Amino acid sequence: MPDTPNAFTRAQLDWRPWLNPLAEAELTPRHAAALVDPARAKSPYFRLLARDPDALEHRTRTDKDIFLNPDAGLPRAERELAAAAASRVNGCIYCASVHARLAATYSKRESDVDRLLAEGPAADLGERWNALVAAAAALTATPVAFGPEHVARLRAAGLDDLAILDLIQAASFFAWANRLMLSLGEAA
Amino acid sequence: MPDTIARLAGLSPDSALEALRARRPVTRDHGQASHDALLTPAEPAGISPAERLAVAAFVAALHRDAAAMAEYGGRLAAGAPALADAVREAAEANTAQGPYGRYPAGPLSVEDAHGPGFTLAPNLAATIGPRLTAALAHAHMLVLHPRDASADAIAALRAAGWTLDDVVTLSQIVAFLAYQLRAAHGLRVLAASA
């Protein structure tokens, strides 16, 4: 086994920072508020981001609303699929493991999620998921390659505009999340 | 007052898409609060407002996103016109198609995709200065080839004077903009597809 995971997986991975996180004992009430969930004080990733508490707090509240807002729109499983697809394209093995696991849990489509991890965004997952993955991949490219053809395909696959908004925000959020996890540490 | 994403996407306050965004008010409001914390902080600490805007203008130009280039390039030029010109030229010399980069050696090595590293002409480096040049090199990697990130890349920033806290904030600035520009781009496309 290499000490750094070198393949995409739904298995539980660790993440190890390249910079010292704040120690739990150093966390002030401002840091605690920025973590939002008290349990996140156990996470080296969130204690590292706590070095800029305002940025962490607004990142976290954005994240939670994009993925957890229960008011209609795109089902949770498919928001997670978008996150996994973006992570697969960017090459964030750790992020892909977390969100592939969540996509599989909420969709019960473990073999399709595994196919995305193995084959990347060209995997054939049925038209609705193919449309979602293609849109997420286009949003992940630089320059951004998302265009009216993606919107048309998503609508043809049954998404209304609130669901498309959710897809845009979920895939776009992983442009943020992947870059934080890739730049500050590594999967372990 | 529309938020920055609405302005970048060109959404009018009474548009159908703004009504949909209003059903995700936490996303909208904390996206703007993220912008404010990272680009216009009340206490800029170790990274000056001009440095933050220079990174933003560079990230916008690497994305070849006209609205974001006008926004951040314009804000930088208002206070530092020579720096704004140098940053735009630096970005134009470093555009590429991303994401590319290398995986840890193993089964994914067949997917390794090579692309250009950051380069900077000496005349631009003189205007931009070594500290900000290190930040632009880091931003180039994060925007275009994020899976090449490494502990060595962080060491290069530290050697150029970026503190531990600064490195976290710099990563947040680049990563947040990667989100903001994509969200705005997606909304612009969706609004035009009514």
pLDDT in tens, B73-118: 999 999 999 999 999 999 999 999 999 999 999 999 999 999 999 9
Q: Which of A30, A182, A184, A186 to mutate to test the interface with B (most CBs of B within 10 A)?
A: A182
Contact B182 A165 (CB under 8 A): no
Phi, psi of A72 (to 5 degrees): 55, -150
Return the residue of A nearest to B23 by Cα.
Answer: A71
pLDDT at A101 over 90: yes
Q: Which amino acid is at A131?
A: A
Tokens of A3: 């000490």
Question: Could you say which of B99, B107, B183 has the minimum Cβ distance to residue A7?
Answer: B107
Residue-wise pLDDT tens digits, A159-188: 999 999 999 999 999 999 999 999 999 999
Nearest-Cα distance to chain A for B110, in Å, is: 11
Residue-wise pLDDT tens digits, B20-44: 999 999 999 999 999 999 999 999 9
Mean pLDDT of A131-153: 98
Residue-wise pLDDT tens digits, B147-180: 999 999 999 999 999 999 999 999 999 999 999 9
Contact A182 B149 (CB under 8 A): yes
pLDDT at A87 over 80: yes
Q: Can you give the pLDDT at residue B1?
A: 80
From start to end of chain A, where are the E strands?
A: 15-17, 185-187
pLDDT at A107 over 90: yes
Q: Can you give the pLDDT at residue A3?
A: 75
pTM score, two decimals?
0.98
Question: Could you say which of B150, B175, B190 has the minimum Cβ distance to residue A176?
Answer: B175
Q: Can you give the pLDDT at residue B194?
A: 79
Q: Can you give the pLDDT at residue A1?
A: 47
Q: Please give the domain boundaries of chain A with CATH numbers for all domains.
A: 15-68 (no CATH), 76-181 (1.20.1290.10)
- Domain at B184, CATH number: 1.20.1290.10
Phi-psi region of A4 (alpha: psi -120 to 50; beta: other; left: phi over 0): beta
Q: Are B145 and A32 in contact (CB under 8 A)?
A: no
- How many domains does the structure of chain B reveal? 1
pLDDT at B183 over 60: yes
Q: Can you give the pLDDT at residue A2?
A: 57
Q: Which domain holds residue B56?
A: 4-192
